[in-house]
Structure 1
């Protein structure tokens, strides 16, 4: 297909496709003339992936480039896939080498984590610091509950990693890391709405009957003369 057809099938403007080609997010098409190339379904799929990373995934162009680079050149070993996915997806600018509260919690929970992964532990440390700075203390046992739930989620996810090839495993882990985290946040917020409706339903004040709007149909007033004549 020509680039105009590629734009139509992928819903990505031609100018944007040319930009992705120029910066290397999208691979070149097959040249059929000095200034003309043919594209295929692989380009359509790649464009949809790019848009997913930049849109719902919330990545910058540079971060999306790192993810795509890893997908194009997967490592030999599947052991480091999760670390590669987390670091390629987004690196925390404020990553620290000291995160005492996070380390203490992880030790309490008995979690075995990469000692060199300062990014994830810094995120936990900053989150804990934010709670402390706001003088917000989660109810007793909530952090333990969150940890137990997330460990179960992570276990199910890792058990589902394809083992047929490193490339398939990396794609599963990388996109699962980038695209599922916004999904989890959206589900949490919607679950809050559902729980609030169920738990606080009895506390809601009764809604008064709504007054008819100015445009509502009104029963016509009886004609005074007609009513008087009937009485006579």
Structure 2
């Protein structure tokens, strides 16, 4: 296909496609004449991956180049390639001003995360970005007086394991590594949004059952008591 057709099929403007080629993100097309090049399905798949990393993953061009280098490295396992992609899209936290108390809280949170990983038997390397992000979140909870939140970490981990298995079951049917990485990036970023929304819905349901149900029962009992009292007063009975 010509570059115009590639642009129409992917929704990526021609100048942008040429920019990706210049930056080495997209292989050049096969020259069919001095001024014409032909592109194929592999170019379309790669463009889709680039756009997923850029638009969904929020990665910069340099980071996208790192992911694509891993994808194109025949010595990299699928696990390593997916690790490169997901590591780059995990939220990071800006460094704070040095503070002994904050350092102590973060150190304690890191140890708690290490214990969680060991307890769960998770095959995660030290220094994994998600582990550091979890430690930062736990340290923040401690600072705002909710350190006891760590008591539900294993319940969260149970849910996370089920979601992770569902994630990988979804991407398992993808044929090419480009498609696999694209699915993981899109699934991780948008899947986080889906899971957060499902969590809110479940919280609303549980809250209604636990709290509104109690209030309703108390209200019914109060109404019954009022009716009984009113009847006794009207009839003059005790």
TM-score by length of 1: 0.67
Say if 1:61 and 1:91 are closer, same or farther in 2 by CA, change over 3 A.
Answer: farther
- Kept in 2: contact 1:63–1:90 (CA 8 A): no
- Kept in 2: contact 1:3–1:37 (CA 8 A): yes
In the alignment, the residues of structure 2 paired with residue 112 and residue 41 of structure 1 have an alpha-carbon distance, to the nearest angstrom, of 36
Say if 1:101 and 1:50 are closer, same or farther in 2 by CA, change over 3 A.
Answer: same
Question: How much does 1:150 deviate?
Answer: 1.4
Say what the alpha-carbon RMSD is for the aligned residues: 3.6
In the alignment, the residues of structure 1 paired with residue 112 and residue 7 of structure 2 have an alpha-carbon distance, to the nearest angstrom, of 50
Structure 2 unmatched runs, 5+: 96-106, 213-238
Counterpart secondary structure, 1:32: strand
- Kept in 2: contact 1:59–1:89 (CA 8 A): yes
Matched, 1:190 2:189: no
Matched, 1:109 2:117: no
- Kept in 1: contact 2:3–2:38 (CA 8 A): yes
Tell me what 2:137 maps to: 127
In the alignment, the residues of structure 2 paired with residue 104 and residue 67 of structure 1 have an alpha-carbon distance, to the nearest angstrom, of 30
Aligned length: 197
- The structure that is helix-richer by fraction is 2
Counterpart secondary structure, 1:200: helix
In the alignment, the residues of structure 1 paired with residue 118 and residue 147 of structure 2 have an alpha-carbon distance, to the nearest angstrom, of 20
Tell me what 1:46 maps to: 46
Question: How much does 1:171 deviate?
Answer: 5.5
Question: How much does 1:20 deviate?
Answer: 0.6
Say if 1:74 and 1:197 are closer, same or farther in 2 by CA, change over 3 A.
Answer: same
- Kept in 2: contact 1:64–1:89 (CA 8 A): no
Say if 1:185 and 1:72 are closer, same or farther in 2 by CA, change over 3 A.
Answer: same
Segment drifting more, 139-148 vs 25-34: 139-148
In the alignment, the residues of structure 2 paired with residue 10 and residue 46 of structure 1 have an alpha-carbon distance, to the nearest angstrom, of 10
Say if 1:38 and 1:50 are closer, same or farther in 2 by CA, change over 3 A.
Answer: same
Say if 1:30 and 1:111 are closer, same or farther in 2 by CA, change over 3 A.
Answer: closer
In the alignment, the residues of structure 1 paired with residue 178 and residue 6 of structure 2 have an alpha-carbon distance, to the nearest angstrom, of 27
What is the CA deviation profile of residues 176-225 of structure 1, one whole-angstrom value per residue up to 9, with x for unaligned ones?
5422222222112321443355343995xxxxxxxxxxxxxxxxxxxxxx
Structure 1 unmatched runs, 5+: 204-232
